[in-house]
Amino acid sequence: MIESAATFAFACFALAMLMNLWKVVTAPDVADRILALDTMFINAIALMVLYGMALGTEIFFEAAMIIAMLGFVSTVAYARFILRGNIIE
Amino acid sequence: MSLFLIAALPFLGAVFPALLIRAGRNAAASAAGLTTLLAFIGLMLHIPAVFRGETVYAAVDWLPALGVNAHFFLDGLGFLFAAMILGIGLLIILYARYYLSREDPMGQFYSYLLLFQGAMVGIVLSDNILLLLVFWELTSLSSFLLIGYWKHLPEGRQGARMALTVTGSGGLAMIAGMLMLGHIAGSYDLSVILQNKEAIQSSDLYLPALILILLGAFTKSAQFPFHFWLPHAMAAPTPVSAYLHSATMVKAGLFLMARLWPVLAGTPEWFYIVATTGLVTMLVGAVIALFKDDLKALLAFSTVSHLGLITMLLGFGTKIAAVAAVFHIINHATFKAALFMTAGIVDHEAGTRNIKRLGGLRHLMPVTFTIGMVAALSMAGIPPLNGFLSKEMMLEETAHTIWNGSHLIVPALATVAALFSAAYSFRFIAHVFLGRKRDDYPGHPHDPNTGMWIGPAFLVVLVVLIGLASAKIAGPMVATAAGAVTGGGELPYYSLKLWHGLTPALYMSVAATIGGLALLALHAPLQRIWNALPRPEAKTIFDALIGAFTRLSQFVTEGLHNGVLTRYAAIMVAFTVAIGYFAYRGGTLGTETRQLQEPGMLPVVGWFALVVATLFIVAKHRNRLLALVLIGVVGLVVSMAFNYLSAPDLALTQISVEVVTIILMLLALNFMPKETPVETPALTRLRDGAISVVAGLGAGGLIYALLMRDFAFPTISDFHLANSYKGGGGTNVVNVILVDFRGYDTFGEIIVLGIAAMVIFALTEAVLASKVRAYLLNRKPDLPQAGDSHPLMMVVATRVMMPLALMVAAYIFFRGHNLPGGGFIAGLVAAIAIIMQYMASGFAWATERQRYPYHAIIGSGVLIAAATGMGAWFNGKPFLTSDFGYLHWAPLEEFEWATAALFDLGVFLAVVGAVLLALESLSRFAWQPGISSEHAMDINPARDEAAKTGTEG
Amino acid sequence: MELLVASAVGILTAAGVYLILRRRSFPVILGLSLLTYAVNVFLFATGRLVTGAPPILNKYKEVAYTDPLPQALVLTAIVISFGMTAVVVMIALGAYLSSRDDGTAMPVEADGAEEEA
Amino acid sequence: MMEHLLIAPVVLPALVAPFIIMVLRHHLDLQRIFSLASAVLLAGITLALAAQAADGTVKVYELGDWPAPFGIVLVLDRLSAMMIVLTSLLALPVLLYAIGSGWDTRGSNFHALFQFQLMGIMGAFLTGDAFNLFVFFEVLLIASYGLMIHSGGTRRFHAGVQYVVFNLLGSTLFLFALGTLYAVTGTLNMADLAVKVAQIPAEDTALLRVGAVMLLLVFAIKASLLPLHFWLPSAYANAPMPVAALFAIMTKVGAYSILRIYTLVFGPEVEATAGLTEAWLLPAALLTLGAGAIGVLGSKKLGRLAAFGAIASMGTLLIAVSLFTQTAAAAALYYLVHSTLAAALLFLVADLVMERQGQWILPQLPMPQTGLISALFFAAAIALAGMPPLSGFLGKLLVLDATRGADLAPWIWGVILLGSLVTIIGMARAGSLLFWKGHGLESEEPATSEAPPVDTLPAKPAQLPFVACFGLLGGLVALTVFAGPATRYAEATAAQLYAPAAYIDTVLGRTAE
Amino acid sequence: MENLFELLVAAFLVIAGIFGIVGSFGLIKLNDPMSRLHAPTKATTLGVGGVLLASMLHAAAFEEHFSYHELMITLFLFLTAPITANFIAKVHIHRQETRETMPEAGGDDHWATHDTPEDEERRHAAHNPPAEE
Amino acid sequence: MKLIWRLFPHPFLTLLLTLTWLLMVNRWSLNSLVFGFMLGVIIPFVTQPYWPNRPNLRRPLKIAEYILVVLMDIIQANIIVARIVLFKPNADRRPNWITIPLELKTPEAITALAGTITMTPGTLSADVSDEGHALLVHCLDAPNPDAVRDEIKQRYERRLMEIFE
Ligand code: NA
Ligand code: NA
């Protein structure tokens, strides 16, 4: 049961990532692209934790945690760039 | 005196004048003269041995591996030349002391002159042909300096370059020839080579070696068609012309032909190349000389002609001709040097060398006239002077020479040449000294002081004495030298006397003299015809050639290295792929030993995302921000792929580096154009696309082939897996490799990072110190700016995030040895924690709160890593040997300590410092007065409230 | 899986090379980044592709591990290329700011040389 | 502690540089003192190491106490000893020059970068591990980026972009090559690679060959082999000249690596990699020499002239290297030392001229110290062109002699000799324009558009730059006079290179059988 | 008991998957940029949250050890998601809106994104009289 | 006392950090506790300059309550929003801006409120006013904006007022 649920979840998040990808490359506005990339980061976290669960290992935890932290930084950086041009001022 | 010393003295002497010039012109001249005199005396000490027919040797091995050795020997030929070089050198030194004016840097002159003298002495004393080459090229170089000595004269520069080009290239050809010759003979020592006539003449390499060596000799001795450089070298001061271009350097080619005569001469090839060249040169030189109005040009072409004469004699290949050649070498040196010095005196005193403006000087300069007349008559071949004797011998030999079946052609042409020779000699006397005194000389002609005429006078005395008593005075010398030229053995009978009876030579001689007088009489109309004739001007051709070649070189160089990186890179990639493919085709590809693994859903999705993002980067790269966003996708997918493929450390590193890189690029992009224009034509893009596709196919194909095959041998990482815990104290094998097995790589790596940051810092300083700073200060943002540069929410969030992130960094640091993580990733995380502060609260605010200079953090990181490595020395172990153990402090559980952690701390610090220094430097570009805020956030109701009530700052 | 990785390396390489052949410094830097990805994956893949076997020693049971060495090498390579990228970004910026020209070709220069006969 | 001397050439600058950054960042005089002292000490250390290696023993230093091939080892043999000595002896005059000319004050962190540069070069010469070679290549490269753009300037920045991008391509290729070699053999240690490569089955050589040749191309980029040399002219011509002088050793790192790897690992008798280079390496080297010589003649700027001179000398060197015979290797090694010193001298002299007259090869008014400078230029020119009496001529003779048996011998000879001729014509042209023509210029309009402002010239000429130049010239003279011993060392080195068994056995800890 | 856990884990996974995909679907479906910004919050909260809960539960139930470090991920997501949303919203306001098209800013003049340097100076003058510190 | 403040500039933070350490190491042990606490002390001390003023958390217990309320709301809102996203045609949706006048003054409190609003699906804090007295919220579907504003003020701002001020 868990296995099929996990497969379902995998499929959902994978599909979600493809949707994000679609948005990243086709969105009319760069703000949408940044948003899509940020969402991609979040889906990636989910996928990573899922994968770790499937393998029964905790080895992917750090990566997920770091992505949670860093996805934010890069998204803010992109946004700041559009808002201010200069991201450190 | 040792031959070494004789050869070395001029070089030593070259040092003194330059040093002594402060002490005055006389000191410089004396130093030059004394060293030359010393060498000359040293040489004379060998007279008894040389005239006994012995050979004096001196040998020291220099470069035995190659066979280039300081082997010198002195035989008759060498003695003759060395005596000429040093003897005439002495006279020239004396002459030059008075000839050069006060403005001329005399120290330099004597230095160059002695340098040249040394090189010449070296040539004639060398027993090693490679050593000879060294001196040979040195004569080219030093004569370059001497010809260009008068730096203000363009003719000097051009003449110098021309001489260097022609003689230098001949010398280079000779190098090849000599190497071949030495190869055939099995040694580069002349004394060995000269014993190997049969081997050399029967070798396949004989002809190429001969041609190459003769190229050297002919260019040096100004043989047709390389003769053109010599007249232009006359731009040199007259002492130089007298020395180099009459007595010595141009004779080096003759010397070489004489030196190698025993092994090279005697073949048809030799005869036809050498004798023909000599004959043509003799004729051409003599004809041109007659029509030259410049005294020195006249003498220069006469020299060409006489050099041709000697070359022709050597080319005949008979021993008796060789004797004549040697004899004429001596005679020519005496009268020609005297003539040059005479010309120099005339030039010096009358203020011009143009024959057209001279005449009648006999009355004003009787001494000079006497000297010049005797020398010129000798050149014309008038008895009883020495020139007559050797010319007679020459004519006699031509009479016996058959050229391609013809008995007549050589003697006939030789007679014509002699006729012209007589004519220009007579002209020298008649048009300069004879005739009516003029009143329009540019100078005030009078005889010079003794120092200037004593040299030529001495030579003229020799001219007369040799002519009158040749057998006594020149006989032994000629015999000894000719003996050396012909390679020992008996010389055939010859006699050096004025009257041989009514020989063909006498008739030819008489014809030449009479004809010469006739030509002189007809000179004016002949000159008009000559001037009307179209004839190739060698200098124009040469200049055009060299100019064209220089422009071609510029064109090729500028065209090839046109500064377009795109093309460089395209060539590099294409070349690499081509060579890689070539290498691949040369081997065999084994069968696949691994199975394809079925990819699950995740890899396919990831692959798809990666490919789409990558292709869109290419398609959309002109929108730079968009490309950066897409790069973020690629980075994320690659990082996930690392995770998926069992590389968590890589995933962590990749994603953290990714973020920092993007921040960095955004910082830079702020100042750069946001769009890339379309510049390349479609065809170029197509070409680039083709190159890229091929490169991609190469890389992809290569890794595919590798992935489908196992290692050919067990890998060394089996050892790492087996020893990571036992020997390295960690279970994260990747980390143990990084800090222990291959800690040295990591040491290098953090240094790379540290240097990168320093470079960025230094660059920032450089840019901000330049005019760019003004531009930056007044720069308006490219795009409209939103308000609220330091939003409240962001500031608050990052304040909480920072300690949390540092906690994460600590966590990742401490567990790295056993689980994914380590100092590098921890460093990046910590750096990002601080960057967040910069981004949230601003550069000025964050910088103010930075207590430790980033330089120091980098430095301490590297030092800690190095010190940890060196710590092992005190344990008697090599650099970077790690140690670890377990500590137990009740009530805590035992925990592990490892020096590797200290090393990792160094890594951590270096990374933190480097990342922050780099970003901080970049951020400084944007700094403008007034943008710094004292507050972390622009909008803060609490602050406003406090300001109103005055409670809090 | 091997096909996916190999084709990804190929595509990244091709895209990287194509961008490096552009005439402005920014796309060239983008190209270098892509090429860096390509080579990192390449280098990583030389340890062959293994899933679910990270080289973290398991003290309790015998398990298979993937080859840790290429991972360590890639880590070093990532760090180094990061430093290099930072420097090239900086130099490109300096070049642009000092000439307002972000082309990668050498700026054309007034020719100060004259011909001598 | 003496057994740790082998790591000292790397560790010493690695300590001095951060110390300078941390403690002496604002004290120029102290920086100079420490930097110089370090350079002197380094020279002493390398000489001591050379003394150890002179008898032909191979010394191995196992970093981290891990045996080869599992850990990284440093290896000292005649070749590496020679290279580190050359590096340290080159560094001294260059550093003196940089200090004397004030170049070190025209930007930040010069001395630290200089030390790091030395560290990278030393590390590259000493390492016995292929991947570690990559790491130290990067160390020396990144330090060189910093030194190259030291003090900034528009053209320098643009040249810097090209230099860095091209070398990053090279670094990428390096990783591709190393990855391929590792994927085939499973090892990174050079000696171990040699063992493994020799045992590669004949039916599976294609991939190994690709790896091997990519590695060669990487080194060829460093060695500026045509058509991979394009990075060099702009980079060297626009670098501060003392830095370019130091870079004279960097091209040699490429040549060294080719010699090392293609004798030790892919030696001539290894069947798997047979025929890999014969068809193209030598022609490329010939073209390199040609392009360099033509470049010397075709250069309108002094810096470029020197850079092309360096390329020409690399062409000659690579001709000798590409023959892969012991005799040619010996010739190459002798020529390598010569061309390093000669190129460095030419760059320094170029700086002396450019300081006074700007960079264009144009007739100019006479400059201060013309006599000395023109003499030095003359010496550097004949050295680099391979004219007697300096060591370049001997080196060229050695190369010509060594190539006698080669198939392309006539081509080699022709190109080398013509290359010399064109080089010397180019040098003569430049020298006569710069030093002679100006004497007639007083009355004319002075062409000083590019000349530096007068105030940058020291009122009293600094002695140190001349000391540095004469130091290098002294090196050339010594190399000429002591050509016998020098070639004996080169021959012994070549012999050691072409008998790699001792190296391999020592590194892998196997007792020689 | 085990079945219950299994059921729970499976349920969390299914819920997570649904909310994950809804978030990304919303990104495509919703037709105005500000609305699109809402979508990812689902993926962040219940999407990732569900997975994390499932993972924790799974570890506790089937791998005989408790695992709660997943909470760290949640912590970070909760801390950061509002900020990213805030920034992207600001980007939108900056690029698509003007002061006039925006609703009233309460008692204040305008929204921070539409602040200009002049406004900043004005505030500075009003609230930071020169005497202050 | 001053010294203690200097050493523990943010006592709650120290607690939070110790907790995060224990979370991260994923293992309760004395070692971890001691080590986590050490870091929990050191890190706030080192980073103090970046967080100069100390927010007052008056009623820590209220925090737990607040978190629970928010979590419940998140679950509820998620379902509502999922329905909107999946089934409601775009045309029927009433996206809207809402201005929320703020009584909260401290940045920390405002941030907490804004964060809460964003994390509960359906609403999103977009901006603050130029003097920080109002919060701009965007609603995915708010036919009645005033109701949303009142609920936010009631459910969240009031509680946060108690916690922070
Ligand atoms: Na160890
Ligand atoms: Na050369």
Percent of chain E scoring above 70 in pLDDT: 92
Q: How confident is the model at residue B421 (pLDDT cuts 50, 70, 90)?
A: very high
Nearest Cα neighbor of B474 from B933, B83, B909 is B83
The reported pLDDT for the residue numbered B952 is 46
The answer to whether E4 faces chain A, any CB pair under 8 Å, is no
Greater model confidence, B693 or D21 = B693
The number of angstroms, rounded, from the C-alpha of B245 to the middle of its chain's C-alpha atoms is 28
Encoded amino acid at B741, one letter: F
| Residue D124: CA count within 13 A, CB half-sphere | 29
Which residue among C51, C86, C93 sits closest to B645, beta carbon to beta carbon? C51
Which residue among E31, E105, E111 sits closest to F90, beta carbon to beta carbon? E31
Which residue among F26, F129, F138 sits closest to E89, beta carbon to beta carbon? F138
Q: How confident is the model at residue F63 (pLDDT cuts 50, 70, 90)?
A: confident
Subunits close to B (at least 3 CB pairs below 8 A): A, C, D, E, F
* Segment B893-908, tens digit of pLDDT: 777 788 888 999 999 9
CA D247, CA B563: separation in Å to the nearest integer?
Answer: 20
Nearest Cα neighbor of B701 from D444, D176, D7, F79 is D176
DSSP string, B641-675: HHHHTT-HHHHHHHHHHHHHHHHHHHHHHTTS-SB
Does residue C115 carry a pLDDT above 50?
Answer: no
Q: Is A86 helix (H, G, I), strand (E, B) or coil?
A: coil
Q: Where are the domains of chain C?
A: 2-50+64-103
Beta bridge partners of B895: B887
User: Rounded to the nearest whole angstrom, what is the distance from the C-alpha of residue D223 to the centroid of ligand 2?
Assistant: 14
Q: Do chains F and C touch (3 or more CB pairs under 8 A)?
A: no
- Of A69-73, B559-563, E60-64, the poorest mean pLDDT is in E60-64
Does residue D37 carry a pLDDT above 70?
Answer: yes
The number of angstroms, rounded, from the C-alpha of B779 to the middle of its chain's C-alpha atoms is 47
Q: What does the block give as tokens for E120?
A: 């900043």
* Segment C6-46, tens digit of pLDDT: 999 999 999 999 999 999 999 999 999 999 999 999 999 99
The reported pLDDT for the residue numbered D451 is 44
Does residue C116 carry a pLDDT above 50?
Answer: no
Q: B565-585 and B682-707 helices cross at what angle (nearest 10)?
A: 40
Q: How confident is the model at residue B407 (pLDDT cuts 50, 70, 90)?
A: confident
Q: Do D437 and C114 touch (CB under 8 A)?
A: no
C1, B599 contact by CB (below 8 A): yes
Nearest Cα neighbor of F152 from B173, F161, A5, B761 is F161
Q: In what order do the strands lie in the sheet with F134-139?
A: F96-101, F134-139, F123-128
Q: Do B748 and D488 touch (CB under 8 A)?
A: no
Does residue B950 carry a pLDDT above 80?
Answer: no
Residue D99's CB is within 10 A of a number of other CB atoms, namely: 25
- Of B440-449, B899-908, D90-99, the poorest mean pLDDT is in B440-449
The reported pLDDT for the residue numbered D1 is 61
Residue E94 domain flag: yes
Percent of chain B scoring above 90 in pLDDT: 47
Nearest CA in chain F to B792: F107
Greater model confidence, B923 or C59 = B923
Which residue among F16, F31, F102 sits closest to B893, beta carbon to beta carbon? F31
Task: Compute the CA torsion angle D39, D41, D42, D45 (nearest 10 deg).
Answer: 170
CA B553, CA D295: separation in Å to the nearest integer?
Answer: 7
CA B586, CA B801: separation in Å to the nearest integer?
Answer: 58
The reported pLDDT for the residue numbered C114 is 42
The reported pLDDT for the residue numbered D453 is 44
The reported pLDDT for the residue numbered D138 is 96
The reported pLDDT for the residue numbered C117 is 33
Cα distances (Å, whole numbers) of residue D136 to B338, B641, B739, B859, D122: 67, 29, 17, 19, 8
Encoded amino acid at D59, one letter: K
Q: Do E116 and B787 touch (CB under 8 A)?
A: yes
User: Rounded to the nearest whole angstrom, what is the distance from the C-alpha of residue D288 to the centroid of ligand 2?
Assistant: 11
Residue E58 domain flag: yes
Mean pLDDT of chain F: 87
**How many residue pairs from chains A and C have C-beta atoms closer than 8 A?**
5
Residue A89 domain flag: no
Alpha helices in D299-436 (DSSP H): 302-322, 326-357, 370-385, 391-402, 409-431
**3-state SS track over E50-103:** HHHHHHHHHHHHHCCCCCCCHHHHHHHHHHHHHHHHHHHHHHHHHHHCCCCCCC
Residue E74 domain flag: yes
Ligand nearest to the CA of D316: 2
Nearest Cα neighbor of B606 from D190, A14, E54 is A14
* Segment A32-56, tens digit of pLDDT: 999 999 999 999 999 999 998 888 8
Residue range D263-275: average pLDDT? 90
- Domain with residue A65: its CATH number is 1.10.287
Q: Do chains A and D touch (3 or more CB pairs under 8 A)?
A: no
Does residue B396 carry a pLDDT above 60?
Answer: yes
Q: Do F124 and E41 touch (CB under 8 A)?
A: yes
Does residue B524 carry a pLDDT above 90?
Answer: no
User: Rounded to the nearest whole angstrom, what is the distance from the C-alpha of residue D139 to the centroid of ligand 1?
Assistant: 23
Q: What does the block give as tokens for B279?
A: 């004959």
The reported pLDDT for the residue numbered D461 is 60
The reported pLDDT for the residue numbered F32 is 86
Q: What does the block give as tokens for B455?
A: 């040299």
* Segment C64-81, tens digit of pLDDT: 899 999 999 999 999 999
As for how many domains chain E has, the answer is: 1
Does residue B237 carry a pLDDT above 60?
Answer: yes
Ligand nearest to the CA of D314: 2
Nearest Cα neighbor of B906 from B759, B749, B760 is B749
CA D387, CA D71: separation in Å to the nearest integer?
Answer: 47
Nearest CA in chain B to F130: B939
Does residue B493 carry a pLDDT above 80?
Answer: no
Q: Identify the domain containing residue A31 by its residue range.
A: 2-84
The reported pLDDT for the residue numbered B932 is 64
C52 chain-A contacts, CB cut-off 8 A = 55, 57
Residue E133 domain flag: no
How long a stretch of residues is chain E?
A: 133
The reported pLDDT for the residue numbered C5 is 96
- Of B935-939, D240-244, F1-5, the poorest mean pLDDT is in F1-5
E70 chain-A contacts, CB cut-off 8 A = 49, 61
Percent of chain D scoring above 90 in pLDDT: 74
Under the phi-then-psi rule, with left for phi > 0, alpha for psi from -120 to 50, and beta for the rest, what region is D510? beta
Does residue B211 carry a pLDDT above 90?
Answer: yes
B414, B394 contact by CB (below 8 A): yes
B943 chain-E contacts, CB cut-off 8 A = 127
CA B361, CA B364: separation in Å to the nearest integer?
Answer: 5
The reported pLDDT for the residue numbered B520 is 85
Greater model confidence, D473 or B439 = D473
D166, D230 contact by CB (below 8 A): yes
- Of B354-358, B395-399, C57-61, D82-86, the poorest mean pLDDT is in C57-61
Q: Do F130 and E119 touch (CB under 8 A)?
A: yes
Greater model confidence, D466 or E129 = D466
* Segment D361-417, tens digit of pLDDT: 877 777 777 778 888 999 999 899 988 888 999 999 999 989 887 888 889 999 999
Q: How confident is the model at residue C112 (pLDDT cuts 50, 70, 90)?
A: low
* Segment B138-158, tens digit of pLDDT: 898 888 888 888 877 778 888
CATH architecture observed for domain C2-50+64-103? Orthogonal Bundle (1.10)
Best interface-test mutation with C: which of A47, A48, A53, A55 has the largest number of C CBs within 10 A? A55
Residue/partner pairs of F32-35 with CB below 8 Å, 24 or more apart: F34/B892
The reported pLDDT for the residue numbered F99 is 93
Mean pLDDT of chain B: 89
B766, C94 contact by CB (below 8 A): yes
The reported pTM is 0.93
The reported pLDDT for the residue numbered D512 is 47
The reported pLDDT for the residue numbered B283 is 93
The answer to whether B696 faces chain C, any CB pair under 8 Å, is yes
Does residue D446 carry a pLDDT above 80?
Answer: no
Subunits close to E (at least 3 CB pairs below 8 A): A, B, F
The reported pLDDT for the residue numbered E128 is 59
Q: What does the block give as tokens for E22?
A: 């809804």
As for how many domains chain A has, the answer is: 1
CA B704, CA B712: separation in Å to the nearest integer?
Answer: 16
The reported pLDDT for the residue numbered D444 is 40
F30 chain-B contacts, CB cut-off 8 A = 891-893
Residue A28 domain flag: yes
Residue range D18-44: average pLDDT? 92
D372, D473 contact by CB (below 8 A): no
Nearest CA in chain C to D450: C112
CA B850, CA B834: separation in Å to the nearest integer?
Answer: 9
- Minimal C-alpha gap between B542 and chain C (Å): 11
Residue range B201-226: average pLDDT? 92
Do the bridges between strand B884-887 and strand F134-139 make them parallel or antiparallel, or are there none, so unpaired?
unpaired
